[in-house]
Amino acid sequence: MSEALSFPDFLRGGWQHCQFEYFRDGVEICRLVTGEPEVALLRYAPGASVPRHLHQGLETILVLEGSQSDEFGHYPAGSLVANPEGTCHSVASSEGCVVLIQWTKPVKIL
């Protein structure tokens, strides 16, 4: 990426104009920054999940809308979650959610 990105009122839904594409069943992605680190928006449909995976680098998540859960807790809108390298978890969203996610290396599905 060679230019700065700006999203006015991002926390108030300024991201809603972004174009999402298929990522996995029930989860869509809007890639904001590619490479390492990668920054994206993930949109989970109600009931969607991501299987257990290993973090090969740091992953940071900000829940913008809805909520998601993993083996360690439940994270409503406004939650900031950091999953360090070497941690494993699976993610689910019963109500659906949108998260801003940044990862330094791809995850490995277990």
Q: Give the tens place of pLDDT for each residue, 14-62.
A: 888 889 999 999 999 999 998 888 999 999 999 999 999 999 999 999 9
Domains of the chain by start residue, with CATH: 19-109 (2.60.120.10)
pLDDT band at 3 (very low <50, low <70, confident <90, very high): low
Task: Please determine, for residue 102, whether its predicted confidence score (pLDDT) is greater than 70.
Answer: yes
Q: In the numeric block, which tokens belong to residue 24? A: 């996995």
Whole-number Å distance between alpha carbons of 103 and 96: 21
Task: Please determine, for residue 76, whether its predicted confidence score (pLDDT) is greater than 90.
Answer: yes
Give bridge partners of residue 82 from the DSSP assignment: 60
pLDDT of residue 40: 95
- Closest CA relative to residue 56, chosen from 37, 79, 81: 37
pTM: 0.91
